[in-house]
Structure 1
């Protein structure tokens, strides 16, 4: 029996490329990201942005925990197949609920989220019963049980829903960083948390490309609806250029240095940091997608300049910190680009949105050029 359970786990000789079902799971994430963007587009206020961030953090944690499970199990194991198909369905249901997740569809959002996370844990306990690594699953399940109480409490206490759900997410995001310490089960040891660097880095690249796809889709749909006048065409071309530049900035870091860094590092440190910082970068891309719709189709919307600038700024902040986590030093072009974007947001608040979009794209272009020159410089 021990040997059969051992065959369920990923080994170093297993292929690191994403499986068909992992890519299928990502398709659900495309829809859900689009729904998150809809929430922000409907309310551009600071409160609306915070509520959008809360929902995105929940959706993102579903993706992270599913990907983490897929990394622990053998790619062709029945556990992975059930987890990925179930998570794809859960992700789609969460996406359906997202626009009204804090109101009439809260039960659907929470129900899908808890069903995936608790179901994954219970399945792992059954499949790995008697195996030493089953204790890891038990610890994670205990932490989800604690956060699940907070999710359910928020469901039945609408007035306190936002703070209770925020606290639930705080518990969940803290778990991997501290090894899920649990009464009588102790804390997970580093050897239990090892990740396949190549597999995890590839999955991060794929989900980032998906977020860029949401940005391009939003820009294309807005352009198709608004017409092809000079202003709309210019805004569309600027957004497309921004998407290309964000992709280049990400690949220079995530595509080249993240995999070996994960392999070298103790997984609780860099794994948890990568999860959180990718959330920040993807939040930036989602915000940029909303900015694209505004710049192309609704240039007179109040607060639009803030969204147009905030998206790339969030991305640069996440990338800056990820670079520091990997290389133990900051990227100077990115570090300089952040305050410049803040100044752009303040100065361009009363300027036409097309001007703010052009200046923001120019800043991202300068950061990308200087960063690549730094990376590929001799010595």
Structure 2
């Protein structure tokens, strides 16, 4: 027998969904987290440092991602869901605050906050869904988060194995979502059980990507403000802005605004596309984060030369473009050739400028991104010109 509380909590698939104020408020925690992550990466640009930042970013992204899906399934105006979102937001802020020392003195804070977020979600939803057929969906997710939580807590106590245990926990969680959270005796979730509102979730992805770009602009502005605003720093700041604009344009066109329609058109199996889009957005945000650090270093010391800056300056845009190409392929079924060429072009540009100053290398990479935008837009410009020409011809 289905209880009335569950029916009041669940969203109706046919109802149009707009992002609620509380969901946008929840995103503020992610802004703080990105600024902390950029600090950590800036302090350690080694491969080990990059790996640790990737673990922290993947954990924070998983908190945002699972919460975004929960807010899609449930009515964010319901008092229980309001409590849930505030609980997750506070836990996310604790995780973000612990980021700089998450692999040192505050590992336990980071791990406990992460596990508490996911187990707390189950503790709130399972009683509310009692008697509803979707209770088993939340039960599977909660059980697996309890199992992976062991790896998080043990990793917090065992410093030598911390990176490995936390990475294994994340691989387990990401893989289980792809497998639809199978568990003995409970089976696995069906695609109708996991169905999402494509338009709403696509909008949430766009919003969180804009937040990532906002972090790039914010850090660039703060660094420029404290740089003395000399000529070279001003040029570097302008390059950061141009880079952010290019990334925004490459994100939105062509498939950035069509993801929601593709998910809706696919029906319940469209949740698979929405899930893969979530994974690819993690890669794109990682690329923006690396680019942000590279631009900060350039603004701070335009005439300097640092191999770490060059590495993140190349890896960041290349990661973003690779994930964006895969998203376009998933949504449109094709590969944008200009962007395919753009990835090796960025790598070649980095190799060609490794002996030059940070300002020159940043300028060259920004130039490559602008060139990709231009070539990418040529078919659209050509079609627009043809329509204008046809409309301006006199009737014969």
Q: Counterpart in 1 of 2:206?
A: 205
Mapped partners of 1:14, 1:272: distance in 2: 21
- Asked if the contact 2:239/2:363 (under 8 Å) is kept, the reply is yes
Q: Counterpart in 1 of 2:234?
A: 233
- Asked if the contact 2:13/2:196 (under 8 Å) is kept, the reply is no
Mapped partners of 1:21, 1:362: distance in 2: 39
The 1:208–1:254 alpha-carbon spacing in structure 2 relative to 1, beyond 3 Å, is: farther
* Deviation at residue 140 of structure 1 after TM alignment: 0.6
Mapped partners of 1:194, 1:58: distance in 2: 23
Residues 148-163 of structure 1 aligned to structure 2 (within 5 Å): 148-163=149-164
Q: Counterpart in 1 of 2:363?
A: 358
Mapped partners of 2:249, 2:213: distance in 1: 11
State the Cα deviation string for residues 186-205 of structure 1 (Å, max 9, x = none): 01011101010010011001
Q: Counterpart in 2 of 1:336?
A: 341
Q: Counterpart in 2 of 1:325?
A: 330
Instruction: Tell which deviates more after alignment, 258-267 or 216-225.
Output: 258-267
With structure 1 as the length reference, what TM-score do the two structures score?
Answer: 0.97
Q: Counterpart in 2 of 1:218?
A: 219
* Deviation at residue 251 of structure 1 after TM alignment: 1.4
The 1:77–1:373 alpha-carbon spacing in structure 2 relative to 1, beyond 3 Å, is: farther
The 1:254–1:221 alpha-carbon spacing in structure 2 relative to 1, beyond 3 Å, is: farther
Quick check: 1:291 aligned with 2:291? no
Instruction: Tell which deviates more after alignment, 163-172 or 145-154.
Output: 145-154
Q: Counterpart in 1 of 2:77?
A: 76
- Asked if the contact 2:283/2:319 (under 8 Å) is kept, the reply is yes
* Deviation at residue 367 of structure 1 after TM alignment: 1.2
Quick check: 1:270 aligned with 2:264? no
- Asked if the contact 1:178/1:268 (under 8 Å) is kept, the reply is no
Q: Counterpart in 1 of 2:148?
A: 147
Unaligned 5+ residue runs, structure 2? Answer: 387-396
- Asked if the contact 2:29/2:93 (under 8 Å) is kept, the reply is yes
* Deviation at residue 267 of structure 1 after TM alignment: 3.8
* Deviation at residue 306 of structure 1 after TM alignment: 1.3
Which entry has the higher C-alpha Rg, 1 or 2?
Answer: 2
Mapped partners of 1:374, 1:188: distance in 2: 42
Mapped partners of 2:373, 2:320: distance in 1: 12
Q: Counterpart in 1 of 2:390?
A: none
The 1:10–1:376 alpha-carbon spacing in structure 2 relative to 1, beyond 3 Å, is: farther
In the alignment of these two chains, the number of paired residues is: 379
Unaligned 5+ residue runs, structure 1? Answer: none
Q: Counterpart in 2 of 1:280?
A: 283
Q: Secondary structure, in 3 states, of the residue corresponding to 1:349?
A: coil
Q: Secondary structure, in 3 states, of the residue corresponding to 1:226?
A: coil
With structure 2 as the length reference, what TM-score do the two structures score?
Answer: 0.93
* Deviation at residue 374 of structure 1 after TM alignment: 3.8
* Deviation at residue 325 of structure 1 after TM alignment: 1.3
The 1:138–1:294 alpha-carbon spacing in structure 2 relative to 1, beyond 3 Å, is: same
Q: Secondary structure, in 3 states, of the residue corresponding to 1:262?
A: helix
- Asked if the contact 1:205/1:254 (under 8 Å) is kept, the reply is no
